[in-house]
C-alpha cells in the first residue's frame, strides 16, 4: 500500500550570513585570496551536510593537509546549509571568496554543459573498478579541465558517490510508470531532458528544497544516492526506492582557478600530496555508507526497496538514448569529444 507520510522538515537551509558577510566585505578580492596569513586558511564548501560522503572527503583532506603542511594550512569546512545552494557555492568559488569546494555536474552543467556527461544514463562502465579507471583517464580529465577552467574553476578531482536511486510515491518499473510523475531533479537542463524522455514531468530544485517539496506534494519523486535518501530523510515521505543502476552520482572537487594558479610551490605540493590516495579512500567510504544505509533504510520498514531487472533497465536505456544528442547540442564540439572519449573508454574494456 502506498501512503504519504508527513513529518517536520529534515533540514532548514540556514541563513546566508557568511555569504552576505563576504559579499559586503570592504576587503578587495586579492586580500581575501591572500595567502599571507599565518596559519593560512583554505575555505572548503560542501554541497552536502555533515556525515555525508562529501563531508568524509573534506574531513580526510583537512587531516592530510594538516599533516603534510605541518599545521601551516588549516581547512575550514562549510557544510551544506551554512553558505548557500550548489550554484551559489560555485559562484563563491569563482569569485575567490571560497577557495575550494564540491561542484556537482547535476547543477554545474547549467553553466558548464560539458559537465552533463556525468548525468547521462547507462554511459560509464557498470563495473566499479572499470568506472573508476575511466574517471581517472588523463585525456578525459584534460578535456573536462579545459571546460572548468573557462569558467574560472580548476578541476582537482572527480568523486563518484554511488548509484543514483529513485524514490517515489509509486512503483517505477517502466518508462510508462513515469507518465505524469513530477520528478525532482538537480537543476541542469540536461536532467530535465532525460526525465522527460522517460515520460516524467521534471521539477528542477535545489537540494535544500526537496524535503519540503515532498511534504507539500509539489513533487512525487526524487533521485539521489542511497546515503542521501537516509541522511536527508527523504524516505520518510516516499513509498518506494528503486535501484535502476543507470547513473552514478558523481561530483567534482574544484578550486578557484586564479587562486590555484597563484599558489606558491609548497602550497601546491601540499595540495597535491594531500589528495594522493583520495580516490581509493572515498570509494571505500561511499561503498560503506551506501550499503550500510540501505540496510538501515530496510530496517525502518518505512520504504519498499526494489531493483530493476536487466530487461526493465533496457527500456530506460533505450528511452534515455536521445539524451546523448541533447548533450552534444548543449556541450558543442568539446562535448562531442568528451562523449567520444567516454564511449571509447567503455568500449576498451573487455
Report the residue from 104, 239, 242, 256 that binds ligand 6CS according to the rule CB under 6 A.
104
State how far the alpha carbon of 194 is from the alpha carbons of 53, 86, 185, 203, 210, in Å: 25, 20, 10, 12, 19
Say whether residue 165 binds ligand 6CS (CB under 6 A). Answer: no
Of the candidates 69, 82, 197, 224, which one interacts with ligand 6CS according to CB under 6 A?
Answer: 224
Is residue 167 involved in binding ligand 6CS (CB under 6 A)?
A: no
Q: What are φ and ψ of residue 48, in 5° steps?
A: -135, 165
48 binds ligand 6CS (CB under 6 A): yes
Judged by beta carbon, residue 80 or residue 178, the one nearer ligand 6CS is 80
Residue of 18, 118, 178, 249 interacting with ligand 6CS (CB under 6 A)? 249
Q: Nearest approach, Cβ of 306 to ligand 6CS (angstroms)?
A: 20
Residue closer to ligand 6CS (CB basis): 69 or 192:
192
Residue 89 near residue 47 (C-beta atoms within 8 A) = yes
- Bridging pattern class, strands 73-78 and 40-45: parallel
Q: What are phi and psi of 312, to 5 degrees?
A: -65, -40
Give yes or no for a contact between 100 and 93, defined as CB atoms under 8 angstroms apart. Answer: yes
Query: To which H or E segment does residue 73 belong?
Result: strand 73-78
Among 81, 116, 125, 225, binds ligand 6CS (CB under 6 A): 225
- Which ranges in the chain belong to alpha helices (H)? 17-23, 29-32, 53-68, 86-94, 105-108, 128-135, 138-150, 189-197, 210-215, 226-231, 257-261, 265-275, 278-300, 310-320, 323-348
Nearer to ligand 6CS, 69 or 247 (CB): 247
Among 69, 82, 86, 238, the residue binding ligand 6CS under the rule CB under 6 A is 86
Partner residues linked to 183 by β-bridges: 202, 221
> Least separation, in Å, of the C-beta of 309 and ligand 6CS?
26
Kindly state whether residue 207 participates in binding ligand 6CS, applying the rule CB under 6 A: yes
Query: First and final CA of the chain: distance in angstroms?
Result: 43
Least CB distance to ligand 6CS at residue 229 (A): 9
**In this chain, which stretch among 221-229, 254-262, 299-307, 316-324 interacts with ligand 6CS, using CB under 6 A?**
221-229
Cα(158)–Cα(115) distance, rounded to whole angstroms? 11
Is 47 an interacting residue with respect to ligand 6CS (CB under 6 A)? yes
Binding ligand 6CS by CB under 6 A: which of 123, 188, 200, 228?
228
Residues lying near ligand 6CS in the complex (CB under 6 A) are found at: 47-48, 86, 104, 107, 186, 207, 224-225, 228, 249
Amino acid at each position: 500500500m502506498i501512503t504519504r507520510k508527513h513529518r517536520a522538515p529534515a533540514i532548514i537551509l540556514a541563513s546566508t550570513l557568511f555569504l552576505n558577510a563576504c559579499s559586503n566585505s570592504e576587503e578587495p578580492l586579492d586580500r581575501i585570496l591572500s595567502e599571507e596569513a599565518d596559519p593560512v586558511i583554505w575555505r572548503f564548501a560542501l554541497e552536502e551536510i555533515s556525515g555525508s560522503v562529501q563531508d568524509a572527503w573534506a574531513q580526510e583532506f583537512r587531516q592530510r593537509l594538516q599533516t603534510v603542511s605541518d599545521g601551516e594550512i588549516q581547512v575550514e569546512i562549510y557544510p551544506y546549509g551554512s553558505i548557500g545552494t550548489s550554484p551559489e557555492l560555485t559562484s563563491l568559488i569563482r569569485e575567490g571568496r571560497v577557495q575550494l569546494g564540491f561542484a556537482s555536474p547535476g547543477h554545474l552543467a547549467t553553466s558548464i554543459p560539458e559537465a552533463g556527461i556525468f548525468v547521462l544514463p547507462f554511459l560509464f562502465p557498470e563495473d566499479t573498478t572499470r568506472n573508476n579507471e575511466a574517471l581517472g583517464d588523463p585525456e578525459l580529465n584534460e578535456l573536462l579541465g579545459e571546460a572548468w577552467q573557462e569558467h574560472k574553476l580548476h578541476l582537482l578531482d572527480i568523486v563518484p558517490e554511488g548509484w543514483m536511486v529513485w524514490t517515489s510515491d509509486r512503483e517505477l518499473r517502466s518508462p510508462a510508470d513515469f507518465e505524469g510523475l513530477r520528478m525532482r531533479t538537480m537543476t541542469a537542463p540536461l536532467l530535465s531532458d532525460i526525465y522527460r524522455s522517460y515520460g516524467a514531468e521534471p521539477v528542477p530544485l535545489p537540494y535544500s528544497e526537496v524535503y519540503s517539496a515532498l511534504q507539500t506534494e509539489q513533487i512525487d519523486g526524487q533521485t539521489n544516492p542511497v546515503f542521501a535518501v537516509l541522511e536527508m530523510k527523504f524516505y520518510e515521505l516516499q513509498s518506494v526506492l528503486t535501484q535502476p543502476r543507470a547513473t552514478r552520482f558523481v561530483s567534482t572537487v574544484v578550486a578557484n582557478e586564479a587562486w590555484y594558479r597563484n599558489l606558491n610551490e609548497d602550497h601546491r605540493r601540499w595540495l597535491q600530496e594531500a589528495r594522493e590516495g583520495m580516490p581509493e579512500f572515498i570509494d571505500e567510504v561511499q561503498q560503506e555508507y551506501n550499503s550500510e544505509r540501505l540496510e538501515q533504510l530496510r530496517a525502518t520498514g518505512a520504504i519498499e526497496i526494489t531493483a530493476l531487472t536487466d530487461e526493465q533497465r533496457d527500456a530506460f536505456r533505450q528511452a534515455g538514448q536521445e539524451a546523448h544528442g541533447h548533450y552534444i547540442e548543449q556541450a558543442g564540439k568539446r562535448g562531442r569529444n568528451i562523449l567520444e572519449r567516454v564511449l571509447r573508454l567503455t568500449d576498451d574494456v573487455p
